[in-house]
Chains A and B, each alone.
Chain A
C-alpha cells in the first residue's frame, strides 16, 4: 500500500517536475492560438503623387475544417450560390493545408451573400468570415502591364516562403510581382486565448506579445498617370506598344502594351471566365509587348549604325554613298529613297538603305561583325536592360557565335549580314530597347537603366530612392551624335515623318522604321525625342501589322510628345486621324522610310 503511494508520488513527480516543460508547452498550445494579422498591401503612386493603386475591403468566407460538418456542404453551396463540387474541392484543399487553422473558402463575396451567411452561421459550424482587401485602381489609366495582377499563392509558393498562408494573394506579374516583398509587408501576430471548443476568449496577455503587422511599402512610380491614360486611349483597338521615358534618368513615363486586360477584374475573387478569355485570346492581352516583344528594329536602327560607322572609321560625316536604286552584292538590296548622293545625315533623313547596306557590308567583310555587335550592345540592345518588370527580353544582336549557332558553322556569309545594317534579318529588339537606344542618342551618349519605381516609402518612414544608373558610352563622341540627331530631325521636317509628325509646336526628332513581317502587314516603328535641343522625353511607338510607320506610328508618337510637353492637344486633325486609323499597306513603297 505504501509502495503504491510512493509509485503515485513518483508518477506525479515525473509528470510535474521532470516533464514539466513538455506539458507546460502542451498546455499553452492548447489554450493559446497564434493568429496572423495581414498587413495592408503597399500603395502605388504616380510621379506626381496621384494614388493609382490602393486597397478596398472585400468580404471573405472562411472555414476551419476541424469544426466543419461536411453534411452542411449543400446548404453552404446554396447560400453561396456556388457548385457543390467547387465547395467540396475548396474545403478539401483547406483540409490539406491545415485541419485546425482557418482558411479562406470563398473570397470577395458580395455583401448580400455575406449577410446571408451571417444569418445562418448558427447552422454552419466551422464557417467564419474575414474582411480582407483587394486591389482597387482609382484612376482612368488601366496600366495592366505595369501593375500586373495578384493571384492566390499556389503550393509552390508556400513551399518557397514561410510567410504565406493559404489564400494569400501574391503578385504574379508586373510591379506587383517584382516588388512583392516590399508591397506585402510583414504579417502581424496576435495571441488569442481559446477554450476547448476553439472559441476565442480575447487577447492573451502574457509573455508572448502581439506584433502589429507592418504595412507594405508604398511605391512612388515614375509613371505619369495622365500621360499613361492618354497613351492608352491612343492605342485603343490597336496592337502594339508604346514606351515613353525620360532620356536623362531612365524614368518610364508611360508604358503601354495593347491590347491590355482589365486588371480590376482579376483583383478580387477570380473571375474564371474572364481569366480563360484573356488567356485564350489570340491577340494575347497578357503579353507585355513593350518589354517582351522581339521585333526587327527596321530603319530605327540606322542612326545607331551611323554612329558605329563613324566610330569604326568607315565613315566621316562627309562620306558620300550614291543610291542608284539599291545596293548590289550577290543580289540587289532595294532602296526606295530618291536616287542620288547621300551623306550620313541625309541617309538618315530619307532612310537610304544603300548607305547602310554598304556600311554593313564593309563591317562584315572587314571581319568586324563581333566588334559591331559589342558596340550595339553598348546601347542596350541584345543585353538585359534591368527594368523592374518581369519577363523583359534582351533581344538578339547577332555575333559570329550566334550566326554559327543559328545557321551552322561556315554556313552563313556576308549575304546574311548586309541587311542587319537596315535593322532587318536576324536582329530583334523590344520597344523598350529602342526607347533606351534613342535615349542614349538624345542624352549625349549615356546608357541609362530604364525603371518604373522612383522610390519606396516604407511603413517605418524610411525612403529608398532608386538610384539612377547611367554610364557614359566612352567611345561615343559628341560630333557623331550631332550628325545623327540632325538626320533624325530631318526625318520630321523633310523625310518620311513630315506629314504626320511635324507639329510646328514642338521641336522633335525621330526615326521611322518598318519591320518586315512575312505573315501579313509590316510592323511599324517610330522612335523620337523632344525637345531637340534639350530632350526631356523619348517616345517609341511600335504597331503590329500597321503598315508604314510614317502613317501609323509617327502620328501617335507626335501626339504623345505634344501632350507631354504642352499638356494639351492642338492638332485635332492628327488626333482624329489616329483615333480612326485602320491598318493599310502599300507594298509598292517597300522599305523606304
Chain B
C-alpha cells in the first residue's frame, strides 16, 4: 500500500471544488424560486444528485484499495458488460428527450452509454498496450482499435444520443495519436470534424480549411496518397454537410444548426435556447446577480438549466468570477491529469489517463461552447457539475482510476 501523501490531492481538490460548484448550481436551478414552475420530480433532482455524490465519494475511496492491474485485467470484461447493457437498453430502455439511453432499475435510471465511455477507454488501452509491438502505426492494429470504439459509438447513435457519440468519435484520434499514430495521419483523422464545423457556419470557410489542412498534411507527412485522400475526404465532408443540411437531417436538427448560425432567425423557437443562454451569461456581468437571484434561471427563461445549460446558471448568478473559476479549475484539472500521464511509465496508464482527460475536456468544451454559443447546441453534460447521476458516477470512476494508477504507480510498473 502506498503512502497517503503520494495520493494526488490537488486533483482531488479540483474534483471537490467542481462538485461543490455543481451542487450549488443544481440547488439554485431546482430549489430556488424557479421550483414553483418545476415538476416535483425535477425539484428532487438536487437530492438525487447529492445521493450520487455520496455514493461517488465511497466509490472514489474504495477504488483506491484495488490494484490497477485488476482493472487492466478486467478491461474487456467491462467492455463486454457495457456492450450487453447498451444492447439491453436499446431493447428495453426508456426514452427521454428523444434519446433511448436510459435503463431503469427501480427508481434510478442508468445511462449505460456513460459507463461505456470508460469501458471503451480501458479496452482500447489494454488492446494497444498488451503486447510490445502493437502500435497504432501498424494499420491493422489501428483499424482494430477503431472498431473497438466504433461498436459502442454505433450503439449510441442507435440510441439516438448524438452528443455522446461525438465523445466516442473524438476518442479515436486521441487514443491512436498517443499510441504512435503519425501527426499527419492524426490530423487527417480529425480534419473532417474541423471542416464540418466550419462548413456549418459557411461552406466557404469549410473549403478554405479543407485546403489548408490538406496542405499541412502533405507538408508533415509527404505522402501523396494520404494527401489525395485527405483532399477527397475534405470535399466529401463539405458536400455531405451541404447535402445533410438540405435533405438528410430532420427539421428539428436543422433548426438547431440554424439556431446556432443565426439565433434571431427564430427567436421564440429553436433560437430561444441560444438567446436565453447568452442572455443569462451576459447579464451576469462581473459579480453575477447572486445565488438564486438570476432572473433568467429563476423565472424559467433558461431551458435545461440544471443539465445542459448549468454553466449559464453559474454565469448568471456568480458572474465572470464564478464562470471563470469553473474554467480555471477545469484547466487546472486537465494540466494536472496530463502531467500525471507524463509521469507514468506504463503505457496503459498513460493512455487511460490521457483518454480520460480528453473525455473530460471534450465534455467541458462542447458543453460550455454550447452554453456560450461558440458551438451549436449539443446536449452533453458538464462533468461533475451538470445534474446526472450516471454521468457523475462514471466521471468520478474515471478520475478515481487515474488517481488509483498514479497512487499505485510504483507497484504498477511496466518492468514488473
Partners in one complex: yes
How many residues belonging to A are interface residues under a CB distance threshold of 8 Å? 29
Q: Could you tell me the distance in whole angstroms from the C-beta of B51 to the nearest C-beta in chain A?
A: 29
B286 an interface residue at 8 Å Cβ cutoff?
A: yes
A12 partner, pick from B37, B327, B331, beta carbons under 8 A: B327
Chain A 5-24, CB-CB to B under 8 Å as 1, else 0, gives 10111011101110110111
User: How many angstroms from the CA of A194 to the CA of B295 in the assembled complex?
Assistant: 10
B240 an interface residue at 8 Å Cβ cutoff?
A: no
A196 partner, pick from B299, B324, B330, B368, beta carbons under 8 A: B299
Contact indicator A16/B315 (Cβ below 8 Å): yes
Contact indicator B320/A197 (Cβ below 8 Å): no
A582 an interface residue at 8 Å Cβ cutoff?
A: no
Binds A, one of B78-86, B126-134, B273-281: B273-281
A283 an interface residue at 8 Å Cβ cutoff?
A: no
Interface residues of B, dominant DSSP: helix
Q: Could you tell me the distance in whole angstroms from the C-beta of A241 to the nearest C-beta in chain B?
A: 58
Q: Could you tell me the distance in whole angstroms from the C-beta of A29 to the nearest C-beta in chain B?
A: 9
Q: Could you tell me the distance in whole angstroms from the C-beta of A9 to the nearest C-beta in chain B?
A: 5
A505 an interface residue at 8 Å Cβ cutoff?
A: no
B301: nearest chain-A partner, CB-CB:
A196
How many residues belonging to B are interface residues under a CB distance threshold of 8 Å? 35
Contact indicator B279/A30 (Cβ below 8 Å): yes
Contact indicator B280/A27 (Cβ below 8 Å): yes
A195 an interface residue at 8 Å Cβ cutoff?
A: yes
Within 8 A of A (CB), among B364-379: 365, 368-369, 372, 374
Contact indicator B365/A4 (Cβ below 8 Å): yes
Contact indicator B278/A15 (Cβ below 8 Å): yes
Contact indicator A15/B372 (Cβ below 8 Å): yes
- Residue with the greatest number of chain A CB neighbours at <10 A, chosen from B283, B285, B299, B320: B283
B55 an interface residue at 8 Å Cβ cutoff?
A: no
Q: Could you tell me the distance in whole angstroms from the C-beta of A449 to the nearest C-beta in chain B?
A: 57
B336 an interface residue at 8 Å Cβ cutoff?
A: no
List, in ascending order, chain A residues with CB within 8 A of B37's CB. Answer: 195-197
A30 partner, pick from B285, B296, B335, B361, beta carbons under 8 A: B296
Contact indicator A5/B330 (Cβ below 8 Å): yes
B29 an interface residue at 8 Å Cβ cutoff?
A: no
User: How many angstroms from the CA of A2 to the CA of B279 in the assembled complex?
Assistant: 26
Contact indicator B335/A2 (Cβ below 8 Å): yes
User: How many angstroms from the CA of A20 to the CA of B280 in the assembled complex?
Assistant: 10
Q: Could you tell me the distance in whole angstroms from the C-beta of B11 to the nearest C-beta in chain A?
A: 16
Contact indicator B369/A8 (Cβ below 8 Å): yes
A27: nearest chain-B partner, CB-CB:
B283
User: How many angstroms from the CA of A537 to the CA of B279 in the assembled complex?
Assistant: 71
List, in ascending order, chain A residues with CB within 8 A of B372's CB. Answer: 8, 11-12, 15
Chain B 22-42, CB-CB to A under 8 Å as 1, else 0, gives 000000000000000100000
B284 an interface residue at 8 Å Cβ cutoff?
A: yes
Contact indicator B283/A20 (Cβ below 8 Å): yes
B181 an interface residue at 8 Å Cβ cutoff?
A: no
B319 an interface residue at 8 Å Cβ cutoff?
A: yes
Contact indicator B368/A8 (Cβ below 8 Å): yes
Q: What are 26 A-B pairs at a CB distance below 8 A? A: A1-B361, A2-B331, A2-B335, A4-B361, A8-B327, A8-B369, A8-B372, A12-B320, A12-B324, A15-B282, A15-B372, A16-B284, A16-B285, A16-B315, A16-B319, A16-B320, A16-B323, A17-B285, A19-B282, A23-B278, A26-B275, A27-B283, A28-B283, A28-B295, A195-B299, A195-B300
- What is the interface of chain B, defined by CB distance below 8 A to chain A? 37, 275-276, 278-286, 295-296, 299-301, 315, 319-320, 323-324, 327-328, 330-331, 334-335, 338, 361, 365, 368-369, 372, 374
